[in-house]
Amino acid sequence: MALCSIAIAAGVVGVVALIRGLVFRRRFGGGGGCGRGRGFGRFGARHGGGIGRSFWLRALYAKLDTTPGQEREIRAALEELRERAVDAKSDLPEARANIARALAGEEFDGSAFEAVSARVDATAEKMKDALAAALKRIHGALDAKQRERLAAIVGKGGFGRWGGGGGPYRDGAML
């Protein structure tokens, strides 16, 4: 039971990370070219070329050919999912403290681990429900052709040059 709930939690975290990477990433990390700070290439955020939160959504909207009403619905669904993920993340410090407490003693403290496990189960269930609600809301906003395109994008892991794999040499490293 605990392994199943941990697997569900890991799956939910993975999906949230995918959504965050596709939609809510503010800008690329690292320094830009010519030492001009953060951003993409030599055109960093300070120079009007930064990649903001809506960049990923605009690219998705272009691929799906959505209407403004559909875009509002998708943005609202993803924002609600993000808020739920932020709420779920707030439980992490207490969970880490309970795991540390379980490991700190001479013998493994099963009750501290059970407290963590119960909390992880509850959080995973909340995130699974929030993800299902967001996907259902997005599904309802799209027509059949758009749903087919979105399924293809999600199926291959993105819509970049290499299908979300990060580059031509990273395909072998993906699990």
List, for residues 78-127, the tens digit of each pLDDT value.
999 999 999 888 888 888 888 888 888 888 888 888 888 888 888 889 99
Q: Are 109 and 102 in contact (CB under 8 A)?
A: yes
Q: Is residue 132 in some structural domain?
A: yes
Distance between CA 57 and CA 75 in Å, rounded? 8
CB 135 within 8 A of CB 127: no
Mean pLDDT of the chain: 74
Q: How many domains is the chain built from? A: 1
Residue 130 counted as domain residue = yes
Q: Is residue 43 part of a domain?
A: no
- Structural domain contains residue 44: no
* Tokens linked to 45: 């955020």
In a domain, 107, yes or no: yes
Range of the domain at 72: 11-25+56-160
Q: What pLDDT does residue 20 have?
A: 59
- 40 in any annotated domain: no
pTM of the predicted structure, to 2 decimals: 0.60
